[in-house]
Amino acid sequence: MGRLKLQSGIKAIEEEPEDCDTTYSNKATLACMINSEVGAVLAVMRRNVRWGGRYMSGDDQLEHSLIQSLKALRKQIFLWQHQWHTINPAVYLQPFLDVIRSDETGAPITGVALSSVHKILTLDVIDQNTVNVEDAMRLVVDAVTSCRFEVTDPASEEVVLMKILQVLLACMKSKASVMLSNQHVCTIVNTCFRIVHQAEKKGELLQRIACHSMHELVRCIFSHLSNVDKEHALVNKTGTAKQELGGINNDYAFGAKQAENGNGSEYDGQASSGSFASNGSAGLVATVREESIVVAGNGKETVLYDLHLMTELYGVPCMVEIFHFLCSLLNAVEHVGMGPRSNTLAYDEDVPLFALGLINSAIELGGPSFRHHPMLLSLIQDELFRNLMQFGLSMSPLVLSMVCSIVLNLYHHLRTELKLQHEAFFSCVILRLAQGKYGASYQQQEVAMEALVDFCRQKTFMVEMYANLDCDITCSNVFEDLANLLSKSAFPVNCPLSAMHILALDGLIAVIQGMAERIGNGSINSEQLPVNLEEYTPFWLVKCDNYGDPGYWVPFVRRRKYIKRRLMIGADHFNRDPKKGLEFLQGTHLLPDKLDPQSVACFFRYTAGLDKNLVGDFLGNHDEFCVQVLHEFAGTFDFQDMNLDTALRLFLETFRLPGESQKIQRVLEAFSERYYEQSPQILANKDAALLLSYSLIMLNTDQHNVQVKKKMTEEDFIRNNRHINGGNDLPREFLSELYHSICKNEIRTTPEQGFGYPEMTPSRWIDLMHKSKKTAPFIVADSRAYLDHDMFAIMSGPTIAAISVVFDHAEHEDVYQTCIDGFLAVAKISACHHLEDVLDDLVVSLCKFTTLLNPSSVDEPVLAFGDDTKARMATVTVFTIANRYGDYIRTGWRNILDCILRLHKLGLLPARVASDVADESELSPDPVHGKPITNSLSSAHIQSIGTPRRSSGLMGRFSQLLSLDTEEPRSQPTEQQLAAHQRTLQTIQKCHIDSIFTESKFLQAESLLQLARALTWAAGLPQKGSSSPEDEDTAVFCLELLIAITLNNRDRIVLLWQGVYEHIANIVQSTVMPCALVEKAVFGLLRICQRLLPYKENLADELLRSLQLVLKLDARVADAYCEQITQEVSRLVKANATHIRSQMGWRTITSLLSITARHPEASEAGFDALLFIMSDGLHLLPANYFLCVDAARQFAESRVGQAERSVRALDLMSGSVDCLARWAHDAKEQMGEEYAANMFQDIGDLWLRLVQGLRKVCLDQREEVRNHALLSLQKCLTGVDGIHISHGLWLQCFDLVIFTMLDDLLEIAQAHQKDYRNMEGTLILAMQLLSKVFLQLFHELSQLTTFCKLWLGVLSRMEKYMKVKVRGKKSEKLQELVLELLKNTLLVMKNKGVLMQRSALGGDSLWELTWLHVNNIAPSLQSEVLPDQDPEQSLLKHGETGGVVSGEMVSAPSNETATSEGAGAGG
């Protein structure tokens, strides 16, 4: 056996280093200590005369036995050789205990003996390994609890009582206390309790010490509960199955001995002899004794502890006894009532406070171990909680506070076992008191509210209330009620803000912050699916497969809550029209399509808010279905072990008993049948139950109706109920009890309507205990946000309103901060649970507090803002929310923008909000092209026309403040003003307003769209005509922001584009004068296109089409900005030419460029862009070819700028032929024949349009341009080898281009227009062009059937040109040229075999027609071309055909020359 280490007592005396045998290996030390205690007792005894002398007994003189035993101990202790733990402690304790027991000793002697025992106990000599320790400990307890002494003076008596407490406490605290039996522990507690009550008449110190000792005892005993073996949990396995403590075995009951002799001591108490329970200790002790300590079984079976259990080592049995005793103290107070005491409040406070304090200690230390011991648990569930409900409504704030502390501890440790008890406590106590209704004082209200806030600070409290109670159809909506209570209590209505308002706010914010903290811990799914009932299932039978697994219970409670809500809506319909109400529930699958009695009965039974009159009428109806419903309804009640009056009360609480006797009879028949079925103990049959029930209703009416003057007596009642129990009488006591119960407590046949907070009546409590056995298991929530979405949806509105009102009324910064924390938590939850409307409400609410939306009535709004802490905090919070949770803001963006615009108007925004925001990406090198794109809105731009911009930026505003106005000199700003400005500056910096727009690329699509819409809304509709400078400034600022977010969201441009485009279109189309707004709109649009084209090819057409808006500008506006617009378009083209693919896109671009051709300032930039596109055909495409050619034509025709540019434009046009040839070549090589053929046709069409364009320039007034155009046309007509031009197309070309041009030039030449200089040279070039083209194409064209027509066309033009007069006279040069060209042509035709006489009969029209025309031009040519042929024949033929020969002869050049010329032309 190991040696004991004596810890606490001796170490204080000897501080020796410990080795193996330091624990009193020196046995002499202990011997000396005990010896000194013996000496101390003997010394005090000798001071008394009685003990100082000797006693005479016969002849011998002997010492008194007490002294003898002490002296004998003295002899022995130094002779013991063994270790102390091997010595029986009884040997050295007995002499002291004898002194304590002796009624001959006085108080001083008893006191010293008690001190000695206390000292020995605290030395830790005795522990559970000591020999015979069990007997020794029990001896000590027995001796001390039956201590006797003579009272000499009050002070010494108090000392003894105090020492008794010390010794008993030391017994319980010593290591050997585990050896005490259940009986001895009960005795110790009982003794201490007796001293507590004796101390009432003693000094204050003893009272305090007695109470403290009692507390320590209870703590000591119940801290042992967790160590008790679980096997001892079932106290009486062979007894009844009920786990309720009905009574106690009187042999071991508290105060049993007092009950036997009517006195608190073990002998008859006389004034001369002392005991710690003297005669005067009536008061509560008597009460306790009568009312609770000896508990009678109230008609229930009692569980009695048998002898061996009480004598076993202490454990659960004594704890059950003690806990029951503590509960019974509360019962005693309840039964004593007020009484004729002088200080009723003190009495009402002291005793319950003492009892509640002890109970609280027991629960704190026993904690969760209570649940393992059914008898203890059942005491808490029933008796304790019933008393707590009673004392919860106490007028004393102290008592209420203690009750709330106990309930909080019980929630913490045992909530899974106390579901309905907690519901009752909140409904019947906290909610009643905290509302300040039902006559509660302000103090009670405050304590209740404090308690509620404490509960709210438990992280899972509200979740568990919601899951277990709000989502249970048989329970009330505690979470909802508590949340509403907190919201309402935080509202200051027509009064200043008080501590109560702040307290309620704390509770509300604690709940909200709990939700916010849970967000990061994950949840099953943030997007919860709505609950739908597809088919009917009995809603009262819905069960969960696993209450411990969130995967099961979360959907289960959400489904249950859905059912509960639907039932409430059904109840509302039912109250208006019962038939429609039932139909509605059938429609929502809560009642079957074919109604059955059980489902309707359960609807009536479990749905709150039904009109009880209507339910009563339905149940009392004679209709067969209604009767069946009534019986099913009765069947939902559990009347097991209930008194008849209690059962009847419960039954009649659920509906209003109808007034008609037949209905009453039907209702009572159903009730009696059910009652008899469940409680057949006393009643013989259901008829007896029916008659007695009727009798109780009659008695109730008789006793509680004011109109009944002569009341029924008890005898009358008993007499009325004779022979009703199957022909026999019911027991008199049974009827008497019923009579008094009804007289004292009326059965309400008109129960309360609505959702008030009911009082807890005894019958309701019994019902609650019955329900608690059947209720669904308690769901324990963890730290994840399973139900927060649903809960927050319920409480968000009132919460935001409450926090806002407090924030509005508050005047202290700490309250502001609390509110701000609440706002941010609400925002976080709203965002994470995707409750956009809640977030919008919050933003709207907060924006009001920024004061930025208020019409400015202050002279210096900036200073006012700097001095207003609340406004600054609200502003920072609004923008914090916008930056953090912008994804979930919808309509709230409008309010946020209103604030931003107000700051803008005050000049308080950082300059970068609208500018840098969009430019930052432009300043960085563009990865696509490897060079930075220049900022399109650079400083090179001309400043917008119109009113000068106000100085923006805070420092600008600040400098205005500091500057001295010329008209009215201002004083220098004061230090306060400077400080206010500094604060304003810091606030705006904290807001990070620019981040809203720069970070908009991370916003969710819907939010981004709403932000863009808010910007267009804030900008307002553009007004035709003049608008105020301030409005225009706002519109410009909003447009800047809109463009900024558009550029920042290029990846999602599809989302924004329509709105942005429409807004800009509105501005463009409604502006008639140049102004900043239209400038911003046009250049913003160009900039968007410029930036987005490389990224959004699928949107390129849309973007480019939008540029058509520029074409729709009012002429004055367009003229003002033409140069800048062109520069922007030029930049756009240069940067994005490869990204523009469609014809529509190019049409817009070329239209914009074409317009500039006639604008002096803009044309250079426009031509530059065109040059970029057309040079070397780099960016020419089939899609843009003709558009570019047409634009080039317009530049060629434009007289703005030098003729040199027109020439360059013509070169661009003629150079583009190479591009056509290249495309034709590629088509031939890369594609199939069919596709190539189509492609050739398209290319041919483009070529035709090109030459048509050039034809138009050939008519230009400027000689240089005109002649260059002809040469270019010639190049395009002759240099087409690579282009496959069809014969038909050539014929078209001759008709539409060559002939038309020749005719037009002829017309101009003949008109003698002064503007056209040197037309002769032009005509020569034109004629050369005709000849060259004809000869080059001669071989192909000669094969055509229409060749004759074409040839005649050529001849007729030559003929006209031969005869034309330029400036009134014929041109020799031209005539010579025509003749030469004609001769060459004829020679070629002859050589090729085309011009020859086919038949002598004159059928060859080509031959004849040719010579007919030729002879008109130059008759001599025929002989030159045909020297071999007889001219007479030829002339004869001509004559026959009616031809006229010209009289003029022109000498032709020699054959050699003609041939070579012809060959050259043909080549």
Q: Name the helix (H) or strand (E) containing 934.
A: none
Do residues 795 and 511 touch, judged by C-beta distance below 8 A?
yes
Give strand pairing partners of 1131: none
**Integer Cα distance of 624 and 596 in angstroms:** 12
Sign (positive or negative) of CA dihedral 1170, 1175, 1178, 1181: positive
**Integer Cα distance of 235 and 1315 in angstroms:** 130
At 43, list the tokens. Answer: 């010394």
Concatenated DSSP letters for 318-329? Answer: HHHHHHHHHHHH
**What are the strands, taking DSSP E only, across 159-300?**
273-274
- Quickly count: other Cβ atoms within 10 Å of residue 162's Cβ: 20
CA 886 to chain centroid, in Å, comes to 12
Torsion of CA 620, 624, 625, 629, to 10 degrees: 50
**Integer Cα distance of 264 and 256 in angstroms:** 10
Give strand pairing partners of 273: 150
CB contact burial 1309-1318 (16+ within 10 A = b; e otherwise): beeeeeebee
Do residues 1429 and 1395 touch, judged by C-beta distance below 8 A?
no
Give strand pairing partners of 56: 61
In the set 660, 759, 1340, 1440, the catalytic residue is 660
Do residues 1440 and 1409 touch, judged by C-beta distance below 8 A?
no
**Integer Cα distance of 487 and 482 in angstroms:** 9
**Integer Cα distance of 1014 and 896 in angstroms:** 9
**Integer Cα distance of 202 and 155 in angstroms:** 9
**Integer Cα distance of 477 and 473 in angstroms:** 9
**Integer Cα distance of 894 and 1017 in angstroms:** 8
**Integer Cα distance of 1131 and 1125 in angstroms:** 10
Concatenated DSSP letters for 129-197? Answer: TSTTHHHHHHHHHHHHHT--EE---HHHHHHHHHHHHHHHHHHHHSGGGGGSBHHHHHHHHHHHHHHHH
Concatenated DSSP letters for 1032-1088? Answer: HHHHHHHHHHHHHHHHHTGGGHHHHHHHHHHHHHHHHHH--S--HHHHHHHHHHHHH
At 1333, list the tokens. Answer: 């083209």
Does residue 660 have an active-site annotation? yes
Burial of 976 (0-12, 13-18, 19+ CB in 10 A): exposed
Q: What angle do CA 663, 664, 665 make, to 5 degrees?
A: 90
Task: State the number of CA atoms in the 13 A half-sphere of 381 facing the CB.
Answer: 25
The residues, any chain, with a CB within 8 Å of residue 1284's CB and separated by 6 or more, are 1224, 1240, 1243, 1244
Sign (positive or negative) of CA dihedral 1452, 1453, 1456, 1457: negative
Q: How far apart are the first and last CA of the chain?
A: 136
**Integer Cα distance of 899 and 886 in angstroms:** 15
SS3 706: coil
Give the active site residues. Answer: 660
